[in-house]
Structure 1
């Protein structure tokens, strides 16, 4: 695959250099905006044991940039070798990080800025040839994606923090009236899942491989707040038959009766969103629900969550040509009229938005708005090879994590594509997660279709 943006396999060194510079600069600008809007006390406080203090993320992205670019690529001496352990995500769980001797905010900023200044010089000198590590700018792209992923993490922390609003963004435009079908049939047959030629794709997206998927029906939009509220009003949170036993036990233990940040007041459901309280908008995709809640809703609705392979086929397969595209709309990079990405808005867009971003079959909002839970466990593709380190993907493979797809309004385009795989524990609700539902077109195969990972099928059965 080739494309003029430099995201395909072809491209000149200057193209890759320009793309790397743009991606690194955009990530740092966002990091600065998320850490400059609160005072030092807010930066060093832990707003939830689920998340790091913001100041930890600030120095961590600088430390990772130093290790992978200045040391691994540039062969330079370590600037601050004594802090490597403090900012090792595997060495210290998030709940313990406030007790560490972290760099104070001013020092963390100076450290990250010094690293970036040296990286910009290194970028000018890099030839972008030789190993896969540097060819096409992969390692620079990996570092930019890593920082953007931490920016999303910091945005989650902003949602968790108590106090007045400090972030602002315009609301998405209201979509035109969407009179299309609620679901579409995705034809059965093989399609190419994953990628082998997207230069900045991460190891768990590789390699491309052929997957057979049975025909299935898929929602054309994510499940909305209004639809989820119907489940709640029908006693959905109190009816164990809709729930996996461990999921029902978890919600009983935690007293969960609604999505995170919702509360009922005076006969109306309200939600807290980045320091503001507002009525729950009925036509937005439901947000901050965990895998068990998504699975229970699907069962209540007589449907199921799509498998990861089904989701990717709906998002990438072009029935007219038989090829897998980079995005639902084609191979072109995301644009504002196609998807809600990059923290351009601080909320999902209403269901039916971005008609220019729909797939050939008419499935909308597959990219952006909300991460979508699938029924699949996070497992390697056939032929997977860890690159450049095991800790990015391989150590998480197994039946403990569920796959999410499609990105959210909080995800930057550099870290979101049709092949991108996210994963989390099925109890997690602080993430910007929602879902859509599916149903099998062949009832005798329900719960077993399209599994690229070979695991037992999910579904409503």
Structure 2
């Protein structure tokens, strides 16, 4: 096996170790549904193995199905999350044996494929990038489920660098074109393609994500009780949900507390706010006299290098993320303090755009011009339309293998259980432009 394939094998091992770590718990916790928004953890565990069997073993390797009778149980489009506990899904022990059996055959397929051949699933080992990223995304989903379980002691924490305050509050991005999306990243998803020119007017964007201190000021100023700051749909959600703070926040006297993986703690005011939905982010931006950035504005500020006239894979360049550039891969079970990664700044000087929190944008999830679905419509195409808003950047729970400046996430505007935050933007005045 050559070096390229050995790196892929190492990525497969790393993501599987992560999945097994998040499901190393009592069987009762794994089979229980902790929220109707989420699957039982054991469903996610077997699903990643079934997905790997479908795409690597059957589609790329031409191997006879191992467990075709369970395909329906793990088809995410046939069974909503709220219904999955009632399905005859595999128990924890059987799920672990199943995914282990799949994985042994997956490595055989890896050894046999030609990454330089004409098969689009084999080329650049795309099918392996597909399953590695898919499993990391489910690992992040597992973390969200563990947070909703409110069970302490299940999720490890870690150390993060201190924050910093040096720098302007917002960054100016001059008018002009840039290349949005990608045609060169081999493991990019279909919704990131094709690369296309976008010409934007000048704008300002926050140097850092909105922090807990700033968001608490919005709450204290009555932001949740003033319909002026909310869209009609957002105000309806606010009244129906009775939300009055980010999910998992409570107030005790004059102090805000949050429950983080089962343990209460004072809200750190120097961290990016997380567990807010799109409606909350949009309302805060209006209250602050700003707006959410479009995803094109977000991507230009994050990845475009104006001096080189090209897009970067990450804000700082094309080198892989390291501990001094971004908070990724569950380094700790929380966002890093604001200003913790000046070395991870983009060419425009915008910081913490990759890692810490997914960032809501103003944009609906829509196809790029010339979009073509690959390898299946249900990854992206069926979600295009007015029901989903785009998130960018990746959270502390996202793995480096599953993030880049062009990566597009999406969700319903009411979702708060995800590790989501935001930053604000504003259009430049004619004089500034």
1:146-165 aligned at under 5 Å gives the runs: 146-165=134-153
The whole-number CA distance in structure 2 between the counterparts of 1:268 and 1:443 is 43
Shift of 1:270: 0.3
The whole-number CA distance in structure 2 between the counterparts of 1:148 and 1:309 is 25
| Number of positions where the alignment pairs a residue of Structure 1 with one of Structure 2 | 432
The whole-number CA distance in structure 2 between the counterparts of 1:191 and 1:19 is 32
Shift of 1:319: 2.1
- Farther-moved stretch of structure 1 (125-134 vs 357-366): 125-134
Contact 1:226 1:282 in 2 (8 A): yes
1:359 maps to 2:349: no
- Aligned pair partner of 2:161 in 137, 162, 173: 173
- Aligned pair partner of 1:48 in 27, 35, 40: 35
Which residue of structure 2 aligns with residue 62 of structure 1?
Answer: 49
Contact 2:334 2:356 in 1 (8 A): yes
Contact 2:179 2:195 in 1 (8 A): yes
Which residue of structure 2 aligns with residue 306 of structure 1?
Answer: 293
Which residue of structure 2 aligns with residue 3 of structure 1?
Answer: none
Shift of 1:119: 0.7
The whole-number CA distance in structure 2 between the counterparts of 1:184 and 1:235 is 28
Contact 1:54 1:154 in 2 (8 A): yes
Shift of 1:268: 1.1
Contact 1:56 1:102 in 2 (8 A): yes
* SS of residue in 2 equivalent to 1:297: helix
Shift of 1:334: 1.1
Which residue of structure 1 aligns with residue 216 of structure 2?
Answer: 229
1:33 maps to 2:28: no
The whole-number CA distance in structure 2 between the counterparts of 1:351 and 1:241 is 29
Contact 1:16 1:136 in 2 (8 A): no
For residues 368-423 of structure 1, the C-alpha deviation after alignment (integer angstroms, 9 at most, x for no partner) is 00000000000000000000000000000001100000000000011100100000
The whole-number CA distance in structure 2 between the counterparts of 1:339 and 1:329 is 10
* SS of residue in 1 equivalent to 2:376: coil
Contact 2:303 2:347 in 1 (8 A): no
Which residue of structure 2 aligns with residue 259 of structure 1?
Answer: 246
* SS of residue in 1 equivalent to 2:73: coil
- Aligned pair partner of 2:358 in 371, 374, 380: 371
For residues 225-262 of structure 1, the C-alpha deviation after alignment (integer angstroms, 9 at most, x for no partner) is 00000000000000000000111111111110000000
Which residue of structure 2 aligns with residue 214 of structure 1?
Answer: 201
1:21 maps to 2:21: no
Cα distance change on mapping 1:93 and 1:306 into 2, 3 Å: same
Which residue of structure 2 aligns with residue 143 of structure 1?
Answer: 131
* SS of residue in 1 equivalent to 2:293: coil
The whole-number CA distance in structure 1 between the counterparts of 2:139 and 2:257 is 26
Which residue of structure 2 aligns with residue 331 of structure 1?
Answer: 318
Shift of 1:30: 0.4
Which residue of structure 1 aligns with residue 97 of structure 2?
Answer: 110
For residues 179-209 of structure 1, the C-alpha deviation after alignment (integer angstroms, 9 at most, x for no partner) is 2100010111000000001100010000011
1:400 maps to 2:417: no
1:305-454 aligned at under 5 Å gives the runs: 305-442=292-429
- Farther-moved stretch of structure 1 (162-171 vs 141-150): 162-171
Which residue of structure 2 aligns with residue 242 of structure 1?
Answer: 229
Contact 2:150 2:259 in 1 (8 A): no
The whole-number CA distance in structure 1 between the counterparts of 2:125 and 2:151 is 41
Contact 2:173 2:301 in 1 (8 A): yes
Which residue of structure 1 aligns with residue 180 of structure 2?
Answer: 193
Shift of 1:153: 0.4
Shift of 1:178: 2.4
Shift of 1:77: 1.0
How does the TM-score come out when normalised to structure 1?
0.92
* SS of residue in 2 equivalent to 1:91: coil
For residues 131-179 of structure 1, the C-alpha deviation after alignment (integer angstroms, 9 at most, x for no partner) is 221111000110100000000000000000032222122131213x322
Contact 2:305 2:347 in 1 (8 A): yes
Which residue of structure 2 aligns with residue 134 of structure 1?
Answer: 122
Cα distance change on mapping 1:234 and 1:443 into 2, 3 Å: farther
The whole-number CA distance in structure 2 between the counterparts of 1:377 and 1:272 is 31
* SS of residue in 2 equivalent to 1:411: coil
For residues 312-350 of structure 1, the C-alpha deviation after alignment (integer angstroms, 9 at most, x for no partner) is 000011122221111110111111111000011100001
CA RMSD of aligned residues (A): 1.4
